[in-house]
Amino acid sequence: MLESLLDLLQESSLSLWGPFLLLLLCGVGLPLPEDIVLVVAGMLAQDDGRSWIATAVLMYIGVLAGDSIIFLLGRHYGARLLAWEGTHNLFPPKKQARVQRLFDRHGSYVLLIARFLPGLRAPVFSTAGAMQVGYLKFLTYDGAAALVSAPVFVWFGHWLWLKFDDDIQNLNAALSRTEWYTVWVAAGLLLVALMVWRLRPRNRPPNPPS
Q: Report domain extents, the chain.
A: 2-197
- pTM of the entire predicted model: 0.76
d(CA 60, CA 171): 24
Cα separations (Å) of 152 from 5, 30, 107, 168? Answer: 19, 22, 26, 21
d(CA 138, CA 142): 6
Interior CA angle at 69 toward 37 and 74, to 5°?
Answer: 125
| φ/ψ bin of 200: left (φ > 0), alpha (ψ from -120 to 50), beta (otherwise) | beta
pLDDT at 30: 81
Q: Which pLDDT tens digit goes with each residue over 31-84? A: 788 888 998 999 999 989 999 999 999 999 999 999 999 899 888 876 666 665
Ranges of the chain whose pLDDT falls below 70: 1-2, 78-93, 95-96, 98-99, 102, 106-107, 118, 166-210
pLDDT at 56: 96
pLDDT at 168: 66
